[in-house]
Amino acid sequence: MSREPTPEESGIYEQSMEAVAQILYSDETHSKVMTILQSGAQDPSKALASAASIILLQLKERSKGQLTPEILQGVLKELMMLLGELATESGAFEVNQDVMMRALQQCMSVVGTQQGEEAPAQPQGQPQAQAQAPMPEGQGGLISGAMG
């Protein structure tokens, strides 16, 4: 970001990171993510990008338009580091800076988090059901999901 985030943006970012953790560690999503990571040894950056896309699409759906491209980029970077740790800890593959940068670029093009872009509701060629994965019960919007 070229400027300091506002208190509101900082709050949305924190809530977004809490929601990312809830999404990632929900039973359904966690098993999908771990399957993707476990099968990603041939192309680790693609595996990281695919796993992150699943989570970010759910986050964007929950956020109901509150996430700016800058907030999404920050969330994506944190999420990639978290997924990299999961991949390494599970023995799926090692993540280095090159793998991380390629994964970030791939995911940003899929999820539409690049600066100034209008975020698409869904990546092209993806089945509708994937973007509309059910939310864990009791999870309303981003804020109520992070707070509840």
Q: How far is CA 125 from CA 22, 91, 93, 130, 139, in A?
A: 26, 30, 27, 11, 27
Q: What is the reported pLDDT for 101?
A: 94
Q: What is the reported pLDDT for 2?
A: 62
Cα–Cα dist 17/2, whole Å: 21
Coil, helix or strand for 42? coil
User: For the segment 118-144, what is each residue's pLDDT rounded down to a tens digit?
Assistant: 443 333 333 333 333 333 333 344 433
Give 111 or 102, the one with higher predicted confidence. 102
Interval 59-69 mean pLDDT? 87
Answer yes or no: is pLDDT of 21 > 80. yes
Q: What is the reported pLDDT for 134?
A: 35
For residue 90 the two structure tokens come to 């599970």
Answer yes or no: is pLDDT of 55 > 90. yes
Q: What is the reported pLDDT for 110?
A: 77
Answer yes or no: is pLDDT of 40 > 50. yes
Packing angle between helix 44-63 and helix 27-38, nearest 10 degrees?
A: 160
Q: What is the reported pLDDT for 5?
A: 83
DSSP characters for 113-140? -STTPPPPSS-TT--HHHHTPPPPTT--
